[in-house]
Each structure stands twice: as C-alpha cells, then as structure tokens.
Amino acid sequence: MRQIVHNGEIVAIFHKQNEWKEGLDFLTEDKNYIQAGTWWYNKDKVLKAHRHKIYAREVQQTQETFILLSGRLRVDLYDENNTIFLQEELSAGDIGIIFNIGHGYYILDDNTKVLEVKPGPFTSVELDKEMIQ
C-alpha cells in the first residue's frame, strides 16, 4: 500500500493487486469519511451476519474509492495550485482511495472497467465539485 502525503496529510492511497494481506485489512483510518478494506479468506470462513444501525454522521467532503476490474488507467493528483504533482498508473485488481486532493483520470486501455464507491447522498455537480481546467 502506498500512502501519498501532501502538505503533511495523507491525500490518497494506492493498493496494488499483489499487496493483499490474508484476513481483514483496512486501508483507511477510522477518521476518514470513506472506509475501505480488503478481505482475503479461505473456504468455510464465516463472517457473522449483521446489519448497520441508523446513526447520524456528518460528512464534510466527498472521498472516493475505486477498483479497476479490467484495463489500466493513470491517476493525476493536483496540488492547491491545480498543478499535477503525482501520476500513478494502476492496472486490473488495483485499488485507489482519494481523500482531500484534486484528481483526474486518464484511461490507458480499451475496455477499462472501474467500480467507484463514494458516500452519498449525491446532491449535484455544482455543490460537490470544483472543476480543474
């Protein structure tokens, strides 16, 4: 797992397919608005059935997790001056977690498929995003 630090803060995490650890491995800290972890268990492992309680949480900012199902892409991370300060190439099976940083994606292969997960509810592009030119 590679933690990207900018101005003393973790702004992104990149987790490659070959970095999985057996068992439950949370990649994010409890304080993050998005929680992401990996599961790696063998046959017959039982995870206790449960449901999540209704519990009010205040989310100040959208954070996102994405998993490449196929293909490749490049993630561009932007600093506060809207200048790219890091580019990371990811492939099928890799995971990206974006916290508090400008970001963009460049698809490198045909048939690139990505699953993106972020907290809701979604309000609007105008309220949620500041576009970088």
Helix (H) or strand (E) holding 50: none
Q: Tell me, what's the pLDDT at 109?
A: 98
Torsion angle (degrees, nearest 10) of CA 108, 14, 69, 35: -140
- Judged by DSSP in three states, 130 sits in coil
Beta bridge partners of 91: 72
The predicted structure's pLDDT at residue 127 = 86
pLDDT, residue 58, reads 87
pTM of the model: 0.91
CATH class of 2-128: mainly beta
Position 40 scores a pLDDT of 96
Whole-number pLDDT of residue 69: 97
Q: What is the pLDDT of residues 31-65, one digit of tens each?
A: 999 999 999 999 999 999 999 999 998 888 899 99
Token duo for residue 85: 């300060």
Of the candidates 68, 61, 59, which has an alpha carbon nearest to the alpha carbon of residue 116? Answer: 68
pLDDT of residue 70: 98
Output the pLDDT for position 50: 95
Could you state, in order of their start, the residue ranges of all structural domains in the chain? 2-128
30-to-23, 90, 127 alpha-carbon distances in Å: 18, 25, 26
Q: Residue 119: its pLDDT value, please?
A: 87
Sign of CA dihedral 82, 84, 88, 92: positive
Cβ atoms of residues 26 and 20 within 8 Å = no
Task: Give the model's pLDDT for residue 60.
Answer: 85
Query: In the chain, which stretches have pLDDT less than 50?
Result: none
End-to-end CA distance of the chain: 30
